[in-house]
Structure 1
Amino acid sequence: FLFSPADQQKYISTLSGGEMRRLNLAAVLITQPNFLILDEPTNDLDIMTLGILEDYLREFKGCVIVISHDRFFLDSIVDHLFVMEGNGVIKDFPGNYSDYRAYLKEQAKTAQATAKPAAATAPAQAQRRENTRPQKLSFKERKELEALTKEIDELTEEKSALEALFNSGAEIADIADKAKRYSDLKEILDEKELRWLELSEKE
Protein backbone atom coordinates (compact mmCIF):
# COMPACT_ATOMS: atom_id res chain seq x y z
CA PHE A 1 0.00 0.00 0.00
CA LEU A 2 2.80 2.37 -1.01
CA PHE A 3 4.47 2.59 2.43
CA SER A 4 8.22 2.74 1.91
CA PRO A 5 10.56 1.39 4.61
CA ALA A 6 11.10 5.00 5.77
CA ASP A 7 7.33 5.60 5.94
CA GLN A 8 6.92 2.48 8.07
CA GLN A 9 9.01 4.10 10.81
CA LYS A 10 6.77 7.17 11.10
CA TYR A 11 4.55 7.83 14.08
CA ILE A 12 0.88 7.43 13.21
CA SER A 13 0.20 10.91 14.54
CA THR A 14 2.41 12.38 11.80
CA LEU A 15 0.61 10.69 8.87
CA SER A 16 -1.41 12.70 6.39
CA GLY A 17 -5.10 12.09 5.79
CA GLY A 18 -4.38 10.03 2.67
CA GLU A 19 -1.73 7.96 4.49
CA MET A 20 -4.17 7.31 7.34
CA ARG A 21 -6.79 6.02 4.91
CA ARG A 22 -4.22 3.72 3.30
CA LEU A 23 -3.09 2.49 6.71
CA ASN A 24 -6.66 1.78 7.85
CA LEU A 25 -7.38 -0.13 4.65
CA ALA A 26 -4.15 -2.14 4.92
CA ALA A 27 -4.87 -2.93 8.58
CA VAL A 28 -8.29 -4.37 7.62
CA LEU A 29 -7.12 -6.38 4.62
CA ILE A 30 -4.07 -7.85 6.38
CA THR A 31 -6.47 -9.77 8.64
CA GLN A 32 -7.60 -11.68 5.51
CA PRO A 33 -11.35 -11.05 5.83
CA ASN A 34 -13.83 -13.11 3.81
CA PHE A 35 -16.57 -10.46 3.70
CA LEU A 36 -16.18 -6.74 2.92
CA ILE A 37 -18.68 -3.88 2.80
CA LEU A 38 -17.35 -0.78 1.03
CA ASP A 39 -19.32 2.49 1.03
CA GLU A 40 -18.14 4.82 -1.75
CA PRO A 41 -14.48 3.73 -1.46
CA THR A 42 -13.42 5.79 -4.49
CA ASN A 43 -14.39 9.00 -2.66
CA ASP A 44 -11.79 8.46 0.06
CA LEU A 45 -8.80 6.97 -1.76
CA ASP A 46 -6.17 8.53 -4.00
CA ILE A 47 -5.69 7.15 -7.49
CA MET A 48 -2.69 4.94 -6.73
CA THR A 49 -4.34 3.37 -3.67
CA LEU A 50 -7.54 2.85 -5.63
CA GLY A 51 -5.57 0.89 -8.23
CA ILE A 52 -4.12 -1.31 -5.50
CA LEU A 53 -7.58 -1.87 -4.00
CA GLU A 54 -9.02 -2.83 -7.39
CA ASP A 55 -6.24 -5.36 -7.93
CA TYR A 56 -6.86 -6.82 -4.46
CA LEU A 57 -10.63 -7.10 -4.98
CA ARG A 58 -10.27 -8.78 -8.38
CA GLU A 59 -8.38 -11.61 -6.65
CA PHE A 60 -10.52 -11.56 -3.49
CA LYS A 61 -12.01 -14.98 -2.71
CA GLY A 62 -14.74 -13.79 -0.36
CA CYS A 63 -17.88 -11.68 -0.74
CA VAL A 64 -17.81 -7.93 -1.41
CA ILE A 65 -20.78 -5.57 -1.20
CA VAL A 66 -19.90 -2.15 -2.58
CA ILE A 67 -21.92 1.05 -2.88
CA SER A 68 -20.43 3.36 -5.49
CA HIS A 69 -21.26 5.93 -8.17
CA ASP A 70 -17.95 5.13 -9.89
CA ARG A 71 -18.99 3.20 -12.99
CA PHE A 72 -15.46 2.12 -13.93
CA PHE A 73 -14.81 0.81 -10.41
CA LEU A 74 -18.03 -1.21 -10.47
CA ASP A 75 -17.27 -2.60 -13.92
CA SER A 76 -13.84 -3.66 -12.68
CA ILE A 77 -14.87 -5.64 -9.62
CA VAL A 78 -18.56 -6.64 -9.50
CA ASP A 79 -20.34 -9.59 -11.10
CA HIS A 80 -23.92 -8.65 -10.21
CA LEU A 81 -25.91 -5.65 -8.99
CA PHE A 82 -28.67 -4.95 -6.51
CA VAL A 83 -30.83 -2.48 -8.45
CA MET A 84 -33.06 -0.26 -6.30
CA GLU A 85 -36.24 0.12 -8.37
CA GLY A 86 -38.24 2.06 -5.78
CA ASN A 87 -41.19 1.17 -3.55
CA GLY A 88 -39.04 -1.35 -1.69
CA VAL A 89 -38.30 -3.40 -4.83
CA ILE A 90 -34.71 -4.64 -5.21
CA LYS A 91 -33.69 -6.48 -8.36
CA ASP A 92 -30.68 -8.80 -8.50
CA PHE A 93 -29.09 -8.23 -11.91
CA PRO A 94 -26.30 -10.57 -13.14
CA GLY A 95 -23.55 -8.43 -14.60
CA ASN A 96 -21.77 -5.11 -14.04
CA TYR A 97 -23.04 -1.56 -14.52
CA SER A 98 -22.25 -1.42 -18.25
CA ASP A 99 -24.14 -4.70 -18.70
CA TYR A 100 -27.11 -3.16 -16.89
CA ARG A 101 -27.09 -0.10 -19.14
CA ALA A 102 -27.01 -2.34 -22.21
CA TYR A 103 -29.92 -4.34 -20.74
CA LEU A 104 -31.99 -1.18 -20.25
CA LYS A 105 -31.38 -0.15 -23.86
CA GLU A 106 -32.41 -3.59 -25.10
CA GLN A 107 -35.55 -3.53 -22.96
CA ALA A 108 -36.49 -0.13 -24.39
CA LYS A 109 -36.02 -1.42 -27.96
CA THR A 110 -38.10 -4.52 -27.22
CA ALA A 111 -40.89 -2.41 -25.71
CA GLN A 112 -40.97 -0.18 -28.80
CA ALA A 113 -40.96 -3.18 -31.17
CA THR A 114 -43.88 -4.88 -29.42
CA ALA A 115 -45.86 -1.64 -29.20
CA LYS A 116 -45.83 -1.06 -32.99
CA PRO A 117 -47.70 -4.25 -34.04
CA ALA A 118 -50.31 -3.62 -31.37
CA ALA A 119 -50.89 -0.14 -32.71
CA ALA A 120 -51.11 -1.45 -36.29
CA THR A 121 -53.96 -3.84 -35.44
CA ALA A 122 -55.97 -1.34 -33.41
CA PRO A 123 -59.04 0.34 -34.90
CA ALA A 124 -58.43 3.61 -36.73
CA GLN A 125 -60.27 5.63 -34.12
CA ALA A 126 -58.20 4.12 -31.30
CA GLN A 127 -55.06 4.84 -33.30
CA ARG A 128 -56.06 8.49 -33.66
CA ARG A 129 -56.60 8.73 -29.91
CA GLU A 130 -53.23 7.10 -29.33
CA ASN A 131 -51.53 9.53 -31.70
CA THR A 132 -52.97 12.50 -29.85
CA ARG A 133 -51.50 11.36 -26.54
CA PRO A 134 -48.21 13.01 -25.57
CA GLN A 135 -45.14 10.81 -25.79
CA LYS A 136 -43.38 9.89 -22.60
CA LEU A 137 -40.22 11.53 -23.93
CA SER A 138 -40.40 14.79 -25.83
CA PHE A 139 -38.37 15.23 -29.00
CA LYS A 140 -35.92 17.39 -27.07
CA GLU A 141 -35.57 14.79 -24.31
CA ARG A 142 -35.03 12.01 -26.86
CA LYS A 143 -32.24 14.02 -28.47
CA GLU A 144 -30.78 14.68 -25.03
CA LEU A 145 -30.80 10.93 -24.27
CA GLU A 146 -28.98 10.16 -27.53
CA ALA A 147 -26.40 12.86 -26.83
CA LEU A 148 -25.90 11.64 -23.25
CA THR A 149 -25.24 8.09 -24.42
CA LYS A 150 -22.47 9.31 -26.72
CA GLU A 151 -21.01 11.69 -24.12
CA ILE A 152 -20.96 9.03 -21.38
CA ASP A 153 -19.13 6.59 -23.64
CA GLU A 154 -16.54 9.23 -24.59
CA LEU A 155 -16.01 10.37 -20.99
CA THR A 156 -15.71 6.77 -19.80
CA GLU A 157 -13.04 6.09 -22.42
CA GLU A 158 -11.11 9.18 -21.32
CA LYS A 159 -11.39 8.15 -17.65
CA SER A 160 -10.24 4.61 -18.44
CA ALA A 161 -7.26 5.97 -20.39
CA LEU A 162 -6.23 8.12 -17.41
CA GLU A 163 -6.52 5.18 -15.03
CA ALA A 164 -4.39 3.05 -17.34
CA LEU A 165 -1.80 5.83 -17.39
CA PHE A 166 -1.81 6.21 -13.60
CA ASN A 167 -1.45 2.46 -13.10
CA SER A 168 1.32 2.10 -15.71
CA GLY A 169 4.03 3.31 -13.34
CA ALA A 170 5.33 5.71 -16.00
CA GLU A 171 6.57 9.16 -15.03
CA ILE A 172 3.82 11.74 -15.66
CA ALA A 173 5.00 15.33 -16.03
CA ASP A 174 1.59 16.99 -15.60
CA ILE A 175 0.29 14.59 -12.94
CA ALA A 176 -1.54 17.35 -11.02
CA ASP A 177 -3.52 18.44 -14.08
CA LYS A 178 -4.38 14.86 -15.02
CA ALA A 179 -5.40 14.02 -11.44
CA LYS A 180 -7.72 17.06 -11.41
CA ARG A 181 -9.18 16.08 -14.77
CA TYR A 182 -9.75 12.55 -13.45
CA SER A 183 -11.60 13.91 -10.42
CA ASP A 184 -13.69 16.21 -12.64
CA LEU A 185 -14.52 13.30 -14.96
CA LYS A 186 -15.93 11.26 -12.08
CA GLU A 187 -18.26 14.11 -11.07
CA ILE A 188 -19.35 14.80 -14.65
CA LEU A 189 -20.02 11.10 -15.29
CA ASP A 190 -22.07 10.81 -12.10
CA GLU A 191 -24.31 13.70 -13.18
CA LYS A 192 -24.73 12.53 -16.77
CA GLU A 193 -25.37 8.88 -15.82
CA LEU A 194 -28.03 9.89 -13.31
CA ARG A 195 -29.72 12.02 -15.98
CA TRP A 196 -29.41 9.15 -18.49
CA LEU A 197 -31.12 6.75 -16.10
CA GLU A 198 -33.86 9.28 -15.40
CA LEU A 199 -34.62 9.67 -19.12
CA SER A 200 -34.32 5.92 -19.80
CA GLU A 201 -36.84 5.07 -17.08
CA LYS A 202 -39.20 7.73 -18.45
CA GLU A 203 -38.88 6.21 -21.93
Structure 2
Amino acid sequence: MAWEFLNILAVSAFAFSGAIVALNERYDIFGTFILGIATPFAGGIVRNIALDVPVVHVWEQGYLLYVAFITISIVYFFPKSWVMSWDRWNIYLDAIGLSAFALQGASFAIANDFPLGGVIFASILTGVGGGVTRDVLAQRRPMVLHQEIYAVWAMVVGVVTGLGIIDIDNVIQAYILFVAIIMCRVLSYHLGWHLRFRDLYRL
Protein backbone atom coordinates (compact mmCIF):
# COMPACT_ATOMS: atom_id res chain seq x y z
CA MET A 1 0.00 0.00 0.00
CA ALA A 2 2.85 2.36 0.83
CA TRP A 3 4.47 1.81 -2.57
CA GLU A 4 1.13 2.26 -4.34
CA PHE A 5 0.73 5.65 -2.68
CA LEU A 6 4.27 6.66 -3.66
CA ASN A 7 3.66 5.53 -7.24
CA ILE A 8 0.44 7.55 -7.48
CA LEU A 9 2.15 10.59 -5.98
CA ALA A 10 5.15 10.29 -8.30
CA VAL A 11 3.08 9.76 -11.45
CA SER A 12 0.79 12.67 -10.58
CA ALA A 13 3.72 14.98 -9.82
CA PHE A 14 5.64 14.18 -13.01
CA ALA A 15 2.51 14.19 -15.21
CA PHE A 16 1.63 17.61 -13.81
CA SER A 17 5.19 18.83 -14.37
CA GLY A 18 5.26 17.56 -17.95
CA ALA A 19 1.90 19.13 -18.77
CA ILE A 20 2.93 22.47 -17.27
CA VAL A 21 6.12 22.51 -19.35
CA ALA A 22 4.10 21.64 -22.47
CA LEU A 23 1.70 24.54 -21.87
CA ASN A 24 4.59 26.92 -21.26
CA GLU A 25 6.02 25.86 -24.62
CA ARG A 26 2.56 26.40 -26.22
CA TYR A 27 2.03 22.74 -27.15
CA ASP A 28 -1.41 21.69 -28.40
CA ILE A 29 -3.60 19.14 -26.60
CA PHE A 30 -1.85 16.18 -28.27
CA GLY A 31 1.61 17.48 -27.40
CA THR A 32 0.53 18.22 -23.83
CA PHE A 33 -0.71 14.67 -23.29
CA ILE A 34 2.37 13.14 -24.91
CA LEU A 35 4.71 15.18 -22.74
CA GLY A 36 2.59 14.60 -19.64
CA ILE A 37 2.61 10.83 -20.15
CA ALA A 38 6.26 10.57 -21.15
CA THR A 39 7.52 12.36 -18.05
CA PRO A 40 6.33 9.83 -15.42
CA PHE A 41 6.87 6.66 -17.45
CA ALA A 42 9.99 7.19 -19.56
CA GLY A 43 12.42 6.71 -16.67
CA GLY A 44 11.20 3.21 -15.85
CA ILE A 45 11.21 2.17 -19.50
CA VAL A 46 14.78 3.43 -20.05
CA ARG A 47 15.87 1.72 -16.81
CA ASN A 48 14.48 -1.64 -17.88
CA ILE A 49 16.07 -1.39 -21.31
CA ALA A 50 19.45 -0.46 -19.78
CA LEU A 51 19.28 -3.29 -17.24
CA ASP A 52 18.12 -5.79 -19.86
CA VAL A 53 14.89 -6.74 -18.09
CA PRO A 54 11.37 -6.93 -19.57
CA VAL A 55 9.91 -3.52 -20.33
CA VAL A 56 6.56 -2.56 -18.85
CA HIS A 57 5.04 -0.46 -21.62
CA VAL A 58 3.05 2.68 -20.96
CA TRP A 59 -0.24 1.03 -21.90
CA GLU A 60 0.46 -1.74 -19.37
CA GLN A 61 0.74 0.63 -16.40
CA GLY A 62 -2.83 -0.04 -15.26
CA TYR A 63 -4.40 2.50 -12.92
CA LEU A 64 -1.25 4.65 -13.00
CA LEU A 65 -1.94 5.48 -16.65
CA TYR A 66 -5.39 6.73 -15.64
CA VAL A 67 -3.83 8.78 -12.85
CA ALA A 68 -1.59 10.44 -15.43
CA PHE A 69 -4.50 11.08 -17.83
CA ILE A 70 -6.62 12.64 -15.10
CA THR A 71 -3.76 14.84 -13.92
CA ILE A 72 -2.97 16.05 -17.45
CA SER A 73 -6.65 16.70 -18.14
CA ILE A 74 -6.90 18.86 -15.02
CA VAL A 75 -3.87 20.88 -16.11
CA TYR A 76 -5.03 21.28 -19.70
CA PHE A 77 -8.71 22.06 -19.20
CA PHE A 78 -8.48 24.26 -16.13
CA PRO A 79 -8.35 28.03 -16.79
CA LYS A 80 -4.89 28.84 -18.10
CA SER A 81 -4.48 31.73 -15.64
CA TRP A 82 -4.86 29.25 -12.78
CA VAL A 83 -2.51 26.71 -14.30
CA MET A 84 0.25 29.22 -14.99
CA SER A 85 0.05 30.42 -11.40
CA TRP A 86 0.79 26.82 -10.39
CA ASP A 87 4.01 26.88 -12.41
CA ARG A 88 5.89 28.34 -9.45
CA TRP A 89 5.28 25.01 -7.66
CA ASN A 90 6.80 22.95 -10.46
CA ILE A 91 10.14 22.65 -8.65
CA TYR A 92 8.41 20.99 -5.71
CA LEU A 93 6.46 18.62 -7.93
CA ASP A 94 9.67 17.74 -9.74
CA ALA A 95 11.37 17.07 -6.39
CA ILE A 96 8.54 14.74 -5.35
CA GLY A 97 8.75 12.82 -8.62
CA LEU A 98 12.54 12.62 -8.48
CA SER A 99 12.53 11.24 -4.93
CA ALA A 100 9.69 8.77 -5.41
CA PHE A 101 10.99 7.38 -8.70
CA ALA A 102 14.56 7.11 -7.39
CA LEU A 103 13.20 5.02 -4.52
CA GLN A 104 11.16 2.96 -6.96
CA GLY A 105 14.22 2.33 -9.10
CA ALA A 106 16.31 1.26 -6.11
CA SER A 107 13.53 -1.04 -4.91
CA PHE A 108 13.24 -2.57 -8.37
CA ALA A 109 16.98 -3.29 -8.57
CA ILE A 110 17.16 -4.74 -5.06
CA ALA A 111 14.14 -6.97 -5.73
CA ASN A 112 15.92 -8.29 -8.83
CA ASP A 113 19.15 -8.96 -6.86
CA PHE A 114 21.31 -6.41 -8.68
CA PRO A 115 24.64 -5.45 -7.06
CA LEU A 116 25.34 -2.01 -5.63
CA GLY A 117 26.26 -0.53 -9.02
CA GLY A 118 23.02 -1.78 -10.52
CA VAL A 119 20.98 -0.32 -7.66
CA ILE A 120 22.64 3.09 -8.07
CA PHE A 121 22.24 2.98 -11.83
CA ALA A 122 18.56 2.00 -11.59
CA SER A 123 17.89 4.68 -9.01
CA ILE A 124 19.46 7.42 -11.16
CA LEU A 125 17.82 6.33 -14.42
CA THR A 126 14.37 5.98 -12.88
CA GLY A 127 14.66 9.21 -10.93
CA VAL A 128 15.94 11.52 -13.67
CA GLY A 129 14.85 9.69 -16.83
CA GLY A 130 11.41 11.26 -16.91
CA GLY A 131 12.69 14.78 -16.36
CA VAL A 132 15.34 14.37 -19.05
CA THR A 133 12.73 13.05 -21.50
CA ARG A 134 10.43 15.97 -20.68
CA ASP A 135 13.17 18.53 -21.29
CA VAL A 136 14.34 16.89 -24.53
CA LEU A 137 10.79 16.70 -25.94
CA ALA A 138 10.27 20.33 -24.93
CA GLN A 139 13.55 21.22 -26.71
CA ARG A 140 15.13 22.38 -23.48
CA ARG A 141 18.56 21.57 -22.14
CA PRO A 142 18.06 18.80 -19.56
CA MET A 143 18.50 20.36 -16.13
CA VAL A 144 20.40 17.29 -14.97
CA LEU A 145 23.27 18.31 -17.28
CA HIS A 146 23.65 21.99 -16.53
CA GLN A 147 21.60 23.26 -13.60
CA GLU A 148 21.77 22.84 -9.85
CA ILE A 149 22.42 19.46 -8.18
CA TYR A 150 19.78 17.04 -9.44
CA ALA A 151 20.91 13.52 -10.31
CA VAL A 152 23.15 13.44 -7.22
CA TRP A 153 20.09 13.05 -4.99
CA ALA A 154 18.90 10.05 -7.00
CA MET A 155 22.40 8.59 -6.67
CA VAL A 156 22.25 9.09 -2.89
CA VAL A 157 19.09 6.98 -2.80
CA GLY A 158 20.87 4.20 -4.68
CA VAL A 159 23.91 4.32 -2.40
CA VAL A 160 22.11 4.29 0.96
CA THR A 161 19.66 1.59 -0.10
CA GLY A 162 22.22 -0.51 -1.97
CA LEU A 163 24.57 -0.49 1.02
CA GLY A 164 21.72 -1.38 3.36
CA ILE A 165 21.96 1.87 5.34
CA ILE A 166 18.27 2.33 4.62
CA ASP A 167 16.02 -0.72 4.46
CA ILE A 168 13.87 -0.07 1.41
CA ASP A 169 11.30 -2.60 2.64
CA ASN A 170 10.82 -0.72 5.90
CA VAL A 171 7.97 1.71 5.30
CA ILE A 172 9.09 4.23 7.92
CA GLN A 173 12.70 4.29 6.70
CA ALA A 174 11.58 4.50 3.07
CA TYR A 175 9.33 7.48 3.77
CA ILE A 176 12.02 9.22 5.82
CA LEU A 177 14.39 8.87 2.86
CA PHE A 178 11.64 10.02 0.50
CA VAL A 179 11.06 13.23 2.47
CA ALA A 180 14.79 13.80 3.01
CA ILE A 181 15.55 13.64 -0.73
CA ILE A 182 12.71 16.08 -1.48
CA MET A 183 14.09 18.51 1.09
CA CYS A 184 17.64 18.16 -0.26
CA ARG A 185 16.49 18.75 -3.84
CA VAL A 186 14.43 21.82 -2.91
CA LEU A 187 17.22 23.17 -0.70
CA SER A 188 19.83 22.73 -3.42
CA TYR A 189 17.53 24.58 -5.83
CA HIS A 190 16.88 27.56 -3.58
CA LEU A 191 20.51 27.84 -2.47
CA GLY A 192 21.80 27.44 -6.02
CA TRP A 193 24.14 24.54 -5.29
CA HIS A 194 26.07 23.43 -8.39
CA LEU A 195 28.63 20.83 -9.39
CA ARG A 196 30.58 23.30 -11.51
CA PHE A 197 34.10 23.28 -10.11
CA ARG A 198 34.99 26.54 -11.84
CA ASP A 199 32.43 28.26 -9.56
CA LEU A 200 34.14 26.77 -6.53
CA TYR A 201 37.52 27.91 -7.84
CA ARG A 202 36.26 31.48 -8.13
CA LEU A 203 35.24 31.39 -4.49
Same fold? TM cut 0.5: no
Looking at both structures, which has the greater relative contact order when contacts are Cα pairs under 8 Å and sequence separation is at least 6? 2
Rg larger for: 1
| TM-score for the superposition, normalised by structure 1 | 0.28
**Going by fraction, where is helix more abundant, 1 or 2?**
2
| TM-score for the superposition, normalised by structure 2 | 0.28
